[in-house]
Amino acid sequence: MSAFLSGLAPRPADALLGLMAAFRADPREAKIDLGVGIYRDEAGETPIMTAVKQAEERLLASETTKAYEGPQGNTDFCAAIEEMVFGAQSEARNDGRVVSFATPGGCGALFVAIMFAGRISAEGRIWASDPTWPNHVNLARSTGRELKSYSYVDAETGAVDFPAMMDDLREARPGDIVLLQGPCHNPTGIDLTPEQWAYLGDFCAGQLLMPLVDVAYHGFGAGLEGDIAGVRALLDAVPEAMVAYSCSKNFGLYRERTGCLMLQGGAPRDVAAGATHLADIARAAYSMPPSHGAAIVATILGDGALRKAWQDELDAMRARMQSLREKLAAALEAETGRDDFASLTAQNGMFSQLPLAPQITELVRLQQAVYLPASGRINIAGLSDETVAEVARRLAPYLTAPPEEAEG
């Protein structure tokens, strides 16, 4: 008998990764995966983007070493991501008030940022939207931070319930972290307006709160510039902030673990001090970041032709998701006779939430072989022109009646 392990209560599988495993194990041929957020093309594949493939070919021919890069990783990558997020004219960058670290994915950036929160304020709590990405909850728990929730969606209007959100955030204490999602909110697809971002910046500055912006779907909503305008408005309004950036979705680099943590401070000296803590945390967690994905991104963003090819492909992915949103809304309206699915077309990015209670999502999985997490979130990019009508047909019976009636 083991001294320690026998006393451990097993943890439930991660909400999204558990679903991914269950989908793989399901022998039914008609199964449809609308679970984990992975972009798929019309054939259901997640191909390597053309610019990525070309960058990899160049790297294969030109790379001469695999020696360590250092705690910040590829500094060309960091500078290119900073420029996309802060803009070429950013005062904070020009003043030397921004430092960046390449990280193992956006999640690595969030981990370092949340650990750093403990260095800023030992009692600091993390405020996240309700609902949010389940791994935000896990990150707070695993780093020993208390998680608080702020209201997010107004069920009546389908927009952000900004007054309710602000009411909740007024309970935040100096030193708390306000975790905000950049474009394409996960799981709702409902985003803050640039005015709301600017307001939040002023609010965080006034209340001595540290914003942490999670940017995981840059380019999937309104394009690269349109998507980041709100984040920039916040960064302009607040002296100190952190941004966790993921290249998993917009560069399709899921398994390469390519992310970046950016820290903006009020003065270059503060940022330099902050950087020593970020380096310290990174060193303990993973020592140095992986380099391959960052080198790919740096190669693409540093070359006009590759950059254009990447943007064109990203634009096509966004247009495809938008078209699938329109088709799904029309198909659901046709199947259910309800006229309230138009909001799907106004939402952004890969995700939207359908009004399905957790136990109903389980029924949908068992009876219809359609996989979606308990939140009722669907991965729009998991649909195709071929499956969209079929998905609507399978989901319709569960959407027609409120959950209580559907159950009975």
Per CB under 6 A, does 132 bind ligand LMR?
no
Binding footprint of ligand LMR, residue count (CB under 6 A): 6
Q: In the window 288-307, what residues touch ligand LMR (CB under 6 A)?
A: none
Measure the CA–CA gap between 147 and 149, rounded to whole angstroms: 7
How open is the CA angle 213-135-399, to the nearest 5 degrees? 100
What are 129's strand-pairing partners?
A: 150
Q: Catalytic residue among 127, 133, 197, 310, which?
A: 133
Strands of the sheet containing 177-181, edge to edge, are 98-104, 258-264, 241-246, 210-215, 177-181, 126-130, 147-151
Among residues 167 and 362, whose Cβ is nearest to ligand LMR? 362
Residue 16 interacting with ligand LMR (CB under 6 A): yes
Give the whole-angstrom CA distance, residue 207 versus residue 274: 20
Buried b / exposed e over 18-46, threshold 16 CB at 10 Å, is ebbeebeeeeeeeebbbbbbbbbeeeeee
* CA 206 to each of CA 173, 197, 315, 400: distance values in angstroms, whole numbers, following the listed order: 11, 14, 38, 46
Nearer to ligand LMR, 37 or 259 (CB): 37
Work out how close the CB of 159 gets to ligand LMR at its nearest, in angstroms, rounded to a whole number: 22
- Among 23, 37, 211, 289, indicate the residue that binds ligand LMR (CB under 6 A): 37
CB nearer to ligand LMR: give 203 or 371: 371
133 is catalytic: yes
Q: Which residues pair with 44 in a beta bridge?
A: none
Q: Which of 233, 249, 329, 381 is catalytic?
A: 249
Quick note: the x/- pattern for ligand LMR over 258-287, rule CB under 6 A, is: ------------------------------
Which of 176, 191, 214, 227 is flagged as catalytic? 214
Contacts (CB under 6 A) with ligand LMR, residues 47-76: none
Burial of 59 from C-beta contacts in 10 A (0-12 / 13-18 / 19+): middle
Question: Which DSSP string do the residues of 113-124 spell out, in sequence order?
Answer: HHHHHHHH-TT-
Catalytic residue of the set 80, 172, 216, 309: 216
Q: Which is nearer to ligand LMR, 97 or 365 (CB)?
A: 365
Residue 172 annotated in active site: no
201, 235 Cβ separation under 8 angstroms: yes
Selected binder of ligand LMR within 54, 103, 135, 387 (CB under 6 A): 135
Residue nearest to ligand LMR (CB): 37
DSSP 221-262: SSHHHHHHHHHHHHHHH-SSEEEEEE-TTTS--GGG-EEEEE
Q: Which of 101, 127, 133, 152 binds ligand LMR (CB under 6 A)?
A: 133
Asked if residue 35 lies in contact with residue 16, where contact means CB atoms within 8 angstroms, the answer is yes
**Buried (b) or exposed (e) across 293-326, using 16+ Cβ within 10 A?**
bbbbbbbbbebeebeebbbebbeebbebbbebbe
Nearer to ligand LMR, 16 or 180 (CB): 16
| Site map (CB under 6 A) of ligand LMR, residues 174-213, x = contact | ------------x---------------------------
100 binds ligand LMR (CB under 6 A): no
Q: How far is the CB of 266 from ligand LMR (least distance, A)?
A: 32
249 catalytic? Reply is: yes
Residue with Cβ nearer ligand LMR (90 or 103): 103
Which residues face 90 on adjacent strands?
A: none
Tokens representing 107 are 């999640």
Is 36 a residue that touches ligand LMR (CB under 6 A)? yes
* Residues at the contact surface with ligand LMR, assessed by CB under 6 A: 16, 36-37, 133, 135, 186
What residues are labeled active site?
A: 133, 214, 216, 249
